Structure 1
Amino acid sequence: MASSKSQFSSLFFITAILLVFLTIFRPVVAAACYARIFAFGDSLTDTGNFLQSIGDFPDPVRRLPYGQTFFGRPTGRFSDGRIIIDFVAEALGLPFVPPYLAGRDVEYFRHGANFAVGGATALNISFFEEKGIDVTWTEYSLGVQMGWFRQLLHLLSDESDRGDIMSSSLFIVGEIGGNDYNHPFLRARSLDEIRTYVPVVVQAIGSAINDLIKLGARTLVVPGNFPIGCVPLYLTVFQSQNKEVYDQQTGCIKWLNEFSEYHNKLLVEELYRLRKLHPHATIIYADYYGASMNIFRFPHKFGFKTSLLACCGSHGPYNCAPSILCGTKGSSVCAEPSTYASWDGLHLTEAAYKFVASAVLNGPYAAPSLSETCPTIELNDAQILYSNQCSE
């Protein structure tokens, strides 16, 4: 009897210790709010799909100085280091999101997949062909990326667990739409014409969000467009002798920023409509425009020596010339990328992306902020710095 009682006590003790061990040392992902991230978009979110899609074509993005700051090598990211999706993954305790086109088996996508492709548009290329625009960019539009996601979802799950996978994942839909305007703007199409594209672009984004929610998505982050009037490439192409064109505080081109604001206004209205249609889903608007404008208004306050010059580029008033791209012969790189907002004249530096990611993760440039929807989110130094400086 005593022996049996002793055995029971020992078993109870071992079980209790095991439970404590599992509680303390369980994997980070198990304790996280989201088990995986699925992302869609263009070069602002791409982590390698563009390079996978072009094979051995010698694009500048496949060589240094791209990737020099964090990875020490080019990874297919259009920056010197990490981009916004990387900082979101880090804050959620998840690995960097792998590019879909680099996947080899289901295990590769255990923590999610990134479908974004550099140069991608929200609208299918047939839209631009009908407008008489010569399509020279990737064919992997948002619709194609959604098709990839459906294929992967079928491989990752069956009908019995598909709902669990969808509800436990974070979906980042964008940024997308910028290239729908970049391509025609840089082909000298008129502002009046391109403004007519905006409702169609927003409708395409809304349709993708609606489809994801119908498939079971419960939490979606939908970024707006950046202020293109502050982008060195646009500042170079649309230079003007008329001082009234420029914002006196930032030096950005006002009419181009007003265009970005128009896109974001319609996108916010579309998200409001979708929230009413799907009250069970959390749709977060990520205000990339508002967050990044802080850099352009107060660069020195946030550690940037310059906000309108490209770190990697060539001759010109904004260190940017369309004929000499970053990473090509004749280009040069600044000594301290972390003090520049623009990396290559079109994309941001890791430092600027980190700043914007912080504003979305911790607020106030997301409604709601990700930290509100995920109590276990880990705030890094940049997020704490951003919060403290903006509260001064």
Structure 2
Amino acid sequence: MGSIGKEPWITPKSVAVVLAFLMLPSFSSSKTESALLLASCPYSSIFSFGDSLADTGNLYLSSNPPPNNHCFFPPYGQTFFHRVTGRCSDGRLIIDFITEYLGIGLVRPYLGMKNMGGWSVKEGGVNFAVAGATALDSSFFEERGIPVHTNYTLSVQLNWFKEFLSTLCHSPQSCHKEVKNSLFLVGEIGGNDFNHAFYIRKSLVEIKTFVPDVINAISSTINELIGLGARTLVVPGNLPIGCSAIYLTVYETKYEDEHDEFGCLKWLNEFAEYYNHELQIELDKLRLLHPHANIIYLDYYNAAMTLYRHPTKFGFTGLEVCCGMGGRYNYNTLRVCGNQNVSACDDPWKHIGWDGVHLTEAAYTFIAQGFLEGPYSLPQFSTSCVVFHE
């Protein structure tokens, strides 16, 4: 498999993370075996939809980027790219590791490709994800008094994809042929629909009522993508938000029984588990509706919780983030990463959290590895492509 940059995926700093992963009892397939299976049914390109967990530069390249978005300033990008790229991390994201694994180059942000022209699916695909994006339209939140800072919703991203297809092929038949061997990443999306509400302390009861609407928006998009020719779709769940420094700070409590044994807020993680459960129920329905499609659930929650449960085993320090200033978790809502005079730690590879919301490249390395070769996908990704031999 090819490299996505000048530096290899497995660097000396990442060895401890990967070796610890390989020691997990649930790890069952070698990279060689997985690579052989994927080579027998290669994906020609990747199309990605989502929010800041997948955005590789769309918000950064948009016509009206938020001037104070913290992801646009150093030390973001310092670990791998050594410059700001629009990614909300110190380095690569999960999508970057997936593309490397599949031997596809960095998936370019749609807005960058649109501005330059000359689109081609042969370049490895297109990323439509935008930081801050929601599954639901902004009007949904405005009606409920919840501020949102961008309206690059899932429906907007889907329309971008349709626009891209219109330049790529000239009939439904030719479009189906072009996209059927592509891998579609539908998410992570939906997290911000809840984050905006949690951040202003809306009640849990009210926020839970959003869940069916969010899942319906994701389900509708999956249906449309399959109708347009998509055959293999990966749909991530939500992260364990109760372990995020932003929520541990916003909902700081003196009652230790509100935290689990790992220091995470139990009620927030229970909400994430509830949402993920409902999402998987919907994916089961979609599998019955589309038996010829391969819909894979990416288990962000348990992949990340493995790190939070056993941080020292993987070389991590715990819940304290790398880039921040002050507070129990090195996080202050008024002095966030990217702000002037807010610096990053000396070694991001010792931290799961990067800035209080997003994770480090080190953490994403593990999650990507666990998805591509391990137990954190349903069905297992490393064997799923053989279903489509024709």
Q: Which residue of 2 aligns with 1:18?
A: none
How far off its partner does 1:168 sit? 1.0
Instruction: Give the SS at the match of 2:319.
Output: strand
**Is the contact between residue 98 and residue 109 of structure 1 (CA under 8 Å) also seen in structure 2?**
no
Q: Which residue of 2 aligns with 1:94?
A: 104
Instruction: Give the SS at the match of 1:194.
Output: helix
Structure 1: distance between partners of 2:338 and 2:185: 29
Find the partner of 2:283 among 243, 255, 271: 271
Q: Write the deviation string for residues 120-179 of structure 1: whole angstroms up to 9, x where unpaired.
A: 0000111111112233x1110001100100000111112142111121100000000100
How far off its partner does 1:30 sit? 9.2
Partner amino acid, structure 1, of 2:263: G
Find the partner of 1:117 among 94, 109, 130: 130
Check 1:164–1:77 CA distance in 2 against 1; reply closer, same or farther (3 A cut).
same
Structure 2: distance between partners of 1:108 and 1:217: 17
Q: Which residue of 2 aligns with 1:61?
A: 71
Q: Which residue of 2 aligns with 1:37?
A: 46
Partner amino acid, structure 1, of 2:216: Q
Structure 2: distance between partners of 1:193 and 1:60: 29
Structure 2: distance between partners of 1:109 and 1:59: 30
Q: Write the deviation string for residues 170-206 of structure 1: whole angstroms up to 9, x where unpaired.
A: 0000000100000011112111100100111011111
Partner amino acid, structure 1, of 2:117: D
Structure 1 residue runs without a partner (length 5+)? 1-28, 376-392
Q: Which residue of 2 aligns with 1:26?
A: none
Once superposed, what is the RMSD of the aligned Cα atoms? 1.6
Find the partner of 2:322 among 311, 315, 329: 311
Q: Write the deviation string for residues 290-313 of structure 1: whole angstroms up to 9, x where unpaired.
A: 111000000111121x23111001
Q: Which residue of 1 aligns with 2:312?
A: 300
For structure 1, which segment, 163-172 or 126-135, has the greater mean C-alpha deviation from structure 2 after superposition? 126-135
Find the partner of 2:178 among 161, 165, 181: 165
For structure 1, which segment, 361-370 or 114-123, has the greater mean C-alpha deviation from structure 2 after superposition? 361-370
How far off its partner does 1:217 sit? 0.5
1:80 aligns with 2:90: yes
Q: Write the deviation string for residues 243-267 of structure 1: whole angstroms up to 9, x where unpaired.
A: 110001x110000000000110000
Partner amino acid, structure 2, of 1:44: L
How far off its partner does 1:56 sit? 7.9
Structure 1: distance between partners of 2:372 and 2:55: 19
Find the partner of 2:198 among 177, 185, 193: 185
Structure 1 length normalisation: TM-score? 0.85
Q: Which residue of 2 aligns with 1:280?
A: 292
Find the partner of 1:51 among 54, 60, 81: 60
Find the partner of 1:368 among 379, 386, 389: 379
**Is the contact between residue 120 and residue 168 of structure 2 (CA under 8 Å) also seen in structure 1?**
no
Structure 2: distance between partners of 1:261 and 1:209: 21
Aligned length: 344
**Is the contact between residue 53 and residue 131 of structure 2 (CA under 8 Å) also seen in structure 1?**
yes
How far off its partner does 1:332 sit? 2.0
Instruction: Give the SS at the match of 1:357.
Output: helix
Structure 2: distance between partners of 1:144 and 1:199: 20
**Is the contact between residue 321 and residue 354 of structure 2 (CA under 8 Å) also seen in structure 1?**
yes
Structure 2 residue runs without a partner (length 5+)? 1-37
How far off its partner does 1:105 sit? 2.0
1:127 aligns with 2:140: yes
Structure 1: distance between partners of 2:325 and 2:232: 42
Structure 1: distance between partners of 2:372 and 2:69: 32
**Is the contact between residue 90 and residue 360 of structure 2 (CA under 8 Å) also seen in structure 1?**
yes
Structure 1: distance between partners of 2:272 and 2:324: 24
How far off its partner does 1:63 sit? 2.4
Q: Which residue of 1 aligns with 2:353?
A: 342
Q: Which residue of 2 aligns with 1:355?
A: 366
Partner amino acid, structure 1, of 2:98: V
Q: Write the deviation string for residues 2-57 of structure 1: whole angstroms up to 9, x where unpaired.
A: xxxxxxxxxxxxxxxxxxxxxxxxxxx99761110000000000000111123482
**Is the contact between residue 43 and residue 117 of structure 1 (CA under 8 Å) also seen in structure 2?**
yes
Instruction: Give the SS at the match of 1:267.
Output: helix
Structure 2: distance between partners of 1:41 and 1:320: 25
Structure 1: distance between partners of 2:279 and 2:358: 22
Q: Which residue of 2 aligns with 1:205?
A: 218
Q: Give the percent of matched residue pairs that are identical in Structure 1 and Structure 2.
A: 53
Check 1:121–1:30 CA distance in 2 against 1; reply closer, same or farther (3 A cut).
same
Partner amino acid, structure 1, of 2:131: G
Structure 1: distance between partners of 2:82 and 2:109: 19
**Is the contact between residue 45 and residue 125 of structure 2 (CA under 8 Å) also seen in structure 1?**
yes
Q: Which residue of 1 aligns with 2:7?
A: none
Instruction: Give the SS at the match of 2:318.
Output: strand
Choose between structure 1 and 2 for higher RCO, CA contacts under 8 A separated by at least 6 residues: 2
